[in-house]
């Protein structure tokens, strides 16, 4: 492997923002489970996901902090889907 091939590109961990109704960041279907979403956020190094419905229309944002609180609650199960979590804000 050459030195050029061995280089790793840094991922900007800064949060994306919603500007003029245009949601930025990883887009995921709202039927994803919270566990999978938390894993995806960790891998992508982001603090929020853009939720999309079956028609790939943005329906809102969900944050890492909100999912972490939900996961630590006594009512949490591993079957909870993102659509069951009220989005933080509309896109």
In angstroms, rounded to a whole number, what is the distance separating the alpha carbons of residues 28 and 34? 11
- Tell me: pLDDT of 3 over 80: no
Question: By percentage, how much of the chain surpasses pLDDT 70?
Answer: 68
Tell which wins on pLDDT, 17 or 77. Answer: 77
- Give the residue, 55 or 16, on which the prediction is more confident: 55
Task: Give start and end residues of each alpha helix (H) in the chain.
Answer: 3-6, 34-44, 64-71
The confidence score (pLDDT) of residue 25 equals: 84
Task: Please state, rounded to an integer, the average pLDDT across all residues of the chain.
Answer: 76
Separation CA 5–CA 39 (nearest Å): 27
**In 1-91, where do the E strands start and end?**
27-29, 48-52, 58-63
Q: What is the pLDDT of residues 52-62, one digit of tens each?
A: 988 988 888 99
Give the pLDDT score at 60: 87
Q: Is residue 15's pLDDT more than 80? A: no
């Amino acid at each position: 492997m050459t030195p050029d091939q061995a280089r790793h590109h840094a991922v900007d961990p800064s949060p994306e923002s919603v500007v003029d109704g245009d949601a930025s960041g990883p887009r995921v279907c709202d039927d994803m489970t919270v566990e999978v979403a938390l894993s995806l956020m960790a891998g992508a190094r982001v603090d929020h996901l853009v939720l999309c419905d079956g028609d790939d229309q943005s329906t809102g944002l969900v944050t890492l902090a909100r999912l972490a609180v939900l996961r630590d609650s006594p009512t949490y199960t591993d079957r909870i889907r993102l659509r069951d979590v009220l989005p933080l804000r509309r896109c």
